Chains A and B, each alone.
Chain A
Amino acid sequence: MIRLEKRPSPSRFWAAATPVLAVIATMIAGGILFAALGKNPFEAIRTIFWDPLFHESFAAYSRPQLLVKAGPLILIAIGLSMGFRAGIWNIGAEGQYIMGAIFGAGAGLAFYPSESFLIFPLMVVAGAVGGWAWAMIPAVLKTKFGTNEILVSLMLVYVAENILASVSSGLLQNPDGMGFPGSRNFGQWPAAANTEIFVNSGMHWGVVTAFIVVIFAYVMLTRHILGFQIRLTGESPRAARFAGVNPTRLILICLGLSGALAGMAGLFEVSGPAGQISIDFGSGYGFTAIIVAFLGRLNPIGILLAGLLMALTYIGGELAQLMLGLPSAAIQLFQGMLLFFLLAMDVLSNYRIRIGKTEVA
Chain B
Amino acid sequence: MKITTILTGAALALGLAGAAAAQDKLKVGFVYVGPVGDGGWTYEHDQGRLAVEEALGDKVETIYQESVPEGADSERVMTQMALSGAKLIFTTSFGYMDPTINVAAKFPDVKFEHATGYKRADNVSTYSARFYEGRAVQGHIAGKMTKTNKIGYIASFPIPEVIRGINSAYIHAKKVNPDVEFSIVWAYTWFDPAKEADAAKALIEQGADVILQHTDSTAPQAAAEQAGGVVTFGQASDMAEYAPFPRVSSIIDNWAPYYVARTQAVLDGTWESVDTWDGIPTGMVEIGEITDAVPADVKAEALAMIEAMRTGDYHPFTGPLKKQDGSDWLADGEVADDGTLAGMSFYVEGLTGDIPN
A60 touches B160 (CB 8 A): no
Q: What chain A residues lie within 8 Å of B98 (beta carbons)?
A: 185, 275-276
Instruction: Flag if A180 contacts B12 (CB, 8 Å).
Output: no
Bound Cα distance A185, B97 (Å): 12
Complex Cα spacing A58 to B71, Å: 20
Q: Which of B8, B36, B73, B356 contacts A200 (CB 8 A)?
A: B8
Of all chain B residues, the one with the shortest Cβ separation from A65 is B76
Q: Which of A61, A200, A280 contacts B69 (CB 8 A)?
A: A280
Query: Which residue of chain B lies nearest to A161 when distances are taken between CB atoms in the complex?
Result: B188
Q: Which residue of A lies closest to B345 (CB)?
A: A179
Min CB gap B199→A, angstroms: 15
Q: Does A120 contact B (CB under 8 A)?
A: no
* Segment of A111-119, A128-136, A252-260, A323-331 engaged in the interface with chain B: A323-331
Q: How large is the interface on A (under 10, 10 to 19, 20 to 34, 35 or more residues)?
A: 35 or more
Q: Is the CB of B160 within 8 A of A56?
A: no
Chain B residues with CB under 8 A of A273: 72, 75
- In the complex, are the beta carbons of A283 and B71 less than 8 A apart? yes
* B159, A181: Cβ atoms closer than 8 Å: yes
Q: Contact at A328–B67, with CB atoms within 8 Å?
A: yes
Q: Are A62 and B4 in contact (CB under 8 A)?
A: no
Complex Cα gap A321–B188 (Å): 27
Residue B225 at the chain A interface, CB threshold 8 Å? no
B270 to chain A, nearest CB (A): 27
The answer to whether residues A169 and B69 also contact, given A198-B1, A329-B35 and a CB cut-off of 8 A, is: no
Residues of A within 8 A of B178 (CB): none
One of B80-88, B208-216, B284-292 contacting the partner: B80-88
Cα separation A173 to B157 with both chains bound (whole Å): 14
Inter-chain CA distance A226–B244, complex, in Å, is 67
Cβ-defined partner of A60 (8 Å) among B8, B76, B344, B357? B8
Contact B18 A56 (CB under 8 A): yes
A199-B8, A273-B72 in contact; A280/B84 too (CB < 8 A)?
no
A residues 304-318 in Cβ contact with B at 8 Å? 315, 318
Q: Which residues of B contact A201 (CB under 8 A)?
A: 4
Query: Of all chain A residues, which has the CB nearest B95?
Result: A280
Is chain A's binding surface mostly helix, strand, loop or mixed? loop
Interface residues of B in 34-74 (CB under 8 A from A): 35-36, 63-67, 69-73
Interface readout for A273-316 with B: 1 if CB under 8 Å, 0 if not? 11110111101000000000000000000000000000000010
Contact across chains for B357 and A166 when beta carbons are under 8 A apart: yes
Is the Cβ of B72 less than 8 Å from the Cβ of A269? Answer: yes
Q: Is the CB of A321 within 8 A of B66?
A: yes
Say yes or no: is B79 at the interface (Cβ < 8 Å to chain A). yes
Q: Does B335 contact A (CB under 8 A)?
A: no
Instruction: List residues of chain A with CB within 8 A of the CB of B355.
Output: 169
Q: Is A358 part of the binding interface, using a Cβ–Cβ cutoff of 8 Å? A: no
Q: Assuming A169-B357, A185-B98, A280-B69, is B344 touching A62 (CB within 8 A)? A: no
State whether the Cβ of A57 lies closer than 8 Å to any Cβ in chain B. Answer: yes
Partner among B1, B63, B72, B357 whose Cβ is within 8 Å of the Cβ of A283? B72
B158 at the interface (CB under 8 A from A): yes
Chain A residues in 8 Å Cβ range of B333: none
CB-based contact A278/B80 at 8 Å = no
Q: What is the chain B residue whose CB lies nearest that of A332?
A: B67
Decide if A187 is an interface residue (CB 8 Å cutoff): yes
CA distance A169 to B85 in the complex (A): 37
In the complex, are the beta carbons of B83 and A61 less than 8 A apart?
yes
Chain A residues whose CB sits within 8 angstroms of the CB of B186 once the complex forms? 165
A170 touches B (CB below 8 Å):
yes
Q: Is B15 an interface residue (CB 8 A)?
A: yes
> Would A62 and B343 count as touching, CB distance under 8 A?
no
Answer yes or no: B5 CB below 8 A from chain A CBs.
yes
Contact of B118 among A68, A178, A181, A283 (CB under 8 A): A178
Q: Is B77 an interface residue (CB 8 A)?
A: yes
Tell me the chain B residues, 333-357 only, with Cβ under 8 Å from chain A.
342-345, 355-357
Does A73 interact with chain B (Cβ within 8 Å)? Answer: no
Residues of the B chain whose Cβ atoms lie less than 8 Å from the Cβ of A169: 158, 355-357
User: For A321, what are the chain B residues with a Cβ–Cβ distance below 8 Å?
Assistant: 65-66
**Known contacts A200-B8, A283-B72; is A170 also within 8 Å of B18 by CB?**
no
A178 touches B343 (CB 8 A): yes
Find chain B residues with CB under 8 A from A181 CB. 157-159
A276 to B119, CA, bound (A): 16
CB distance from B69 to the nearest CB of A (A): 5
Give the chain A neighbours of B261 by CB distance below 8 A: none
Residues of A within 8 A of B77 (CB): 318, 322
B71 and A274 form a contact (CB under 8 A): yes
Given the complex, which residues of A lie within 8 Å of B331, measured CB to CB?
none
The CA of A281 and the CA of B72, in the complex, are separated in Å by 9
Chain A residues near B157 (CB, 8 Å)?
Answer: 181, 279
Cβ contacts A176-208/B at 8 Å (1 or 0 each): 001111000101000000000011110000000
Q: Are A281 and B71 interface neighbours, CB within 8 A?
A: yes
| A61 smallest CB distance to B (angstroms) | 6
**Docked complex: A234-278 residues within 8 A CB-CB of B:** 269, 273-276, 278
Q: Residues of A contacting B36 with CB < 8 Å? A: 327
Contact of A57 among B4, B19, B71 (CB under 8 A): B19
Contact status B83-A57, CB under 8 Å: yes
| CB contact under 8 A between A57 and B357, given known A185-B98, A278-B95 | no
Closest to A280 in B: B70
Contact status B84-A58, CB under 8 Å: yes
CB neighbours (8 Å) of B266 from chain A are none
Interface on B for A, CB 8 Å cutoff?
1, 4-5, 8, 11-12, 15-16, 18-19, 29, 35-36, 63-67, 69-73, 75-77, 79-81, 83-85, 94-95, 98, 102, 118, 157-160, 186, 188, 342-345, 355-357
Selected A-B contacts with CB under 8 Å, 21 pairs: A60-B15, A61-B79, A62-B76, A65-B76, A161-B188, A169-B357, A179-B159, A180-B159, A199-B1, A199-B8, A200-B4, A201-B4, A275-B72, A278-B95, A315-B76, A318-B80, A321-B66, A322-B29, A327-B35, A328-B35, A328-B65
Known A57-B16, A323-B84; further 9 A-B contacts with Cβ < 8 A: A56-B15, A161-B188, A179-B160, A274-B72, A275-B98, A280-B70, A283-B72, A322-B63, A328-B65
Q: Contact residues of A with B, CB < 8 Å?
A: 56-58, 60-62, 65, 68, 161, 165-166, 169-170, 173, 178-181, 185, 187, 198-201, 269, 273-276, 278-281, 283, 315, 318-319, 321-323, 325, 327-329
